């Protein structure tokens, strides 16, 4: 049996801080979930508005196609368009590249929690779109 290595990735996180799940108020939501990072950003204008995102590792189910849209032309991140999402959340999936050994179902998942009233033109939405558009898988050197 060979080891399976998840390729490295890069994201432009300049508008984001890495926080603990507890600091973000997500501790109980992430129990037993392989968490890569929890990110938080806030916009201060007339009020303070914040978005928090958790990046986790998951498995895709080949039997059930996902309703998605590509975040930007050439982007690897796909926004999930399911109707089961909680109000005020945006969810994304980044399937890992196929390995030489054959297909695999690993993916990086991202779920962002933000205020229900955030529009697609809002600065918080712009930051989430920019972060997800910047996602790139990197090959693992042999």
Structural domain of residue 118, as residue ranges? 15-135
Q: What are 15-51's pLDDT values in tens digits?
A: 999 887 777 766 666 667 778 888 999 888 888 888 8
142 is a domain residue: no
4 is a domain residue: no
* Whole-angstrom distance, CA of residue 108 vs CA of residue 56: 6
Helical ranges in the chain per DSSP H = 21-24, 123-133
54 is a domain residue: yes
- The two three-digit tokens of residue 134, written as one number: 């910047």
61 is a domain residue: yes
114 is a domain residue: yes
Q: What is the pLDDT of residue 45?
A: 82
Higher pLDDT, 112 or 25: 112
21 is a domain residue: yes
Q: What is the pLDDT of residue 134?
A: 92
141 is a domain residue: no
Phi, psi values for residue 90, rounded to 5°: -130, 130
Nearest to 39 by CA among 115, 122, 132, 137: 132
DSSP letter for 47, please: S
Q: What angle do CA 109, 112, 117 make, to 5 degrees?
A: 150
32 is a domain residue: yes
Cα diameter, the chain = 57
Q: Which of 46-50, 108-112, 114-118, 121-125 shows the lowest mean pLDDT across its residues?
A: 114-118
Q: What is the pLDDT of residue 103?
A: 56
Which are the contacts of 117, defined by CB distance < 8 A and separation ≥ 6?
none
Q: Which of 2-16, 52-66, 119-133 shows the lowest mean pLDDT across its residues?
A: 2-16
Q: What is the pLDDT of residue 5?
A: 58
| Secondary structure of residue 50 in the 3-state scheme | strand
The total of structural domains in the chain comes to: 1
Q: What are 64-107's pLDDT values in tens digits?
A: 788 899 999 989 899 998 767 777 888 999 988 776 565 567 88
């Amino acid at each position: 049996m060979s080891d399976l290595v998840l390729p490295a990735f890069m994201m432009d996180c300049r508008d984001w801080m890495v926080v603990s799940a507890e600091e973000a108020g997500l501790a109980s939501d992430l129990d037993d979930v392989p968490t890569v990072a929890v990110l938080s950003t806030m916009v201060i204008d007339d009020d303070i508005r914040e978005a928090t995102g958790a990046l986790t590792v998951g498995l895709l189910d080949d039997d059930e196609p996902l309703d998605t849209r590509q975040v930007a032309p050439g982007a690897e991140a796909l926004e999930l368009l399911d109707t089961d999402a909680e109000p005020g959340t945006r969810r994304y999936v980044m399937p890992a590249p196929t390995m030489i050994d054959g297909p695999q179902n690993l993916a990086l998942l991202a779920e962002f929690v933000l205020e229900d009233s955030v529009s697609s033109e809002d600065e918080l939405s712009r930051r989430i779109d920019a972060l997800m558009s910047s996602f790139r898988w990197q090959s693992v050197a042999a």
